[in-house]
Amino acid sequence: MSQSSIRRVLIANRGEIALRIIRACHEEGLEAVAVTSDADRHAPFVRAADAAIAIGPSPPAESYLRIDRLLDAARTSGAQAIHPGYGFLSERAEFAKAIEDAGLIFVGPPSSAIAAMGDKTSARRLMQAAGVPIVPGAVTALTHPDEAHGLAEGIGYPVLVKASAGGGGKGMRVVHAAADLPAAIEGASSEARKAFGDGSIYLEKFIVRPRHVEIQILADAETTIHLGERECSIQRRHQKLVEESPSVAVDPALRARMGAAAVAAARAVGYRGAGTCEFLLAADGTFFFLEMNTRIQVEHPVTEEVYAVDLVREQLRIAGGLPMSVRPGTLSPRGWSIECRITSEDPANGLLPSAGTIRWLRPPAGPGVRWESGVESGSEVTLYYDSMLAKLIVRGATRTQALARMRRALDELMVVGVATNIAFHRRLLDDADFIAGAIDIQFLERRPDLLALADDEATTLRLALTAALLEEERRRSRHPKAQATRSGRGDPAGPPSRWLDAARRDGLR
């Protein structure tokens, strides 16, 4: 039996995805090395790893985005491979190329595939050549703003101005009339330049009220397969909030057509590992290639639950030169899975990120419930990183059962110390249109009431925070001596000692 060429993996990421990868490494019989910024020194993923290496200060630009420090950490730890997770450097072709040039293994596709799919106009040309349907529009970036008017007239309004590089909703503007086009181009280009260092843009037709449906693919050296679809239409500012698999809008015949298109897209760039092809699905069943995510997705657990495949372990197997453990023709969806992203966004403050200490965290449990988080009681939530605290995933035999299970899990979930979007998820799951599956990517734009904080919820939030603060005050009053020496100098008014806090946490462990 062949052996993997990997024995030790460095995870170039943080939070829940780092912990997810560490667990997969251990199940695969591999050692896992964490990297940590100053802010993450005591995070759960650091404790779960076999070793941890400090790579710099809290800001990502000085730690998790430093390719040189990540490569040094891999060499120092003796890791043969680097797993990028998602976000940060996961879709940077230069990062994958640097790993390849250093003689290490990138747990992901070849750098050439990332580069091919990283530029949206290049990807559109490749997909068009491979016979994959694309949204009507340009396949090259604009060379001069004046070109845009003729293109827009040819495509027909409304049009979408999009950045050629990057993603995540940055550098995008919807334009409904010719008079608004110049300002949209300038705004999108400026935003793209700041976010990605590349201000080039292109135009495509704006599809009104489509669904966002993506296909999970997996490819080793010999075989490329798909593992069905995920429905990702519940979005705010182009950021997904809820995902499910399968989709109420996709029947077996449509799944087969979309799956074949995704496989063709992956083969066109010589893809390896796990990846996702995102499509816009119109009401009449036509679909258009949107982009390819050349990494593991935040929402991958819903596919794992429905297809009984550990996608991260498959990534590790393929990167180590082994064939994937699943074969074509053996997979079909069973049951239904839903994921809610739990974020530290404050509904009482325009859903801006909330920072602070998690005083108390009670995760849900029970049949069919999966909790993936990078935080725990006592964790510090900072503004340095993404606001996602955790992913709550449920599985049921049917969508109706999965919805009921998610409602129960959300009722069990309690987070005190930072504001969260839990109340939004509760409202959404009780909404008649969502229950009926009558959704599209503009759904929340039409339903701002689902995002607003109701008066009774605001009262409940204030009471919970007040109770947490009173409990903290009672705890301190019961231990005045410990409080008086908290600063490490016997000065009750002095600043708390981070080293003393760290020692206490270590003692509690």
Separation between Cα atoms, residue 152 and residue 130, nearest integer Å: 25
- Helix or strand (DSSP H, E) at 191: helix 181-196
Q: Which residues does residue 415 pair with via DSSP β-bridges, in sequence order?
A: 361
166's tokens: 């990057």
The values of phi and psi at residue 397, to 5°, are: -70, -30
108's tokens: 């992901």
Q: Which residue in this structure is represented by tokens 């070849």?
A: 110
Q: Is 75 one of the catalytic residues?
A: no
- Helix or strand (DSSP H, E) at 150: helix 147-155
Sequence-distant (6+) residues with CB within 8 A of 450 are: 424, 427, 428, 431, 444
Buried b (16+ CB within 10 A) or exposed e, 118-138: bbbbbbbebbeeeebbbbebb
Of 126, 76, 70, give the one whose Cα is nearest residue 99. Answer: 70
- Distance set, CA 305 to CA 228, 328, 342, 390 (Å): 12, 18, 19, 17
Q: Following DSSP, what letter does each residue of 243-308 receive, concatenated?
A: EEES-TT--HHHHHHHHHHHHHHHHHTT--EEEEEEEEE-TTS-EEEEEEE-S--TTHHHHHHHHT
In the three-class reduction of DSSP (H, G, I as helix; E, B as strand; rest coil), residue 497 is classed as coil
Which listed residue (272, 295, 370, 395) is catalytic?
295
Separation between Cα atoms, residue 378 and residue 71, nearest integer Å: 31
Sequence-distant (6+) residues with CB within 8 A of 504 are: none
Q: Where are the alpha helices (DSSP H) in 388-440?
A: 399-412, 422-429, 432-436
Region of residue 260 (left: phi > 0; alpha: psi -120 to 50; beta: else): alpha
Instruction: Write out the catalytic residue numbers.
Output: 295
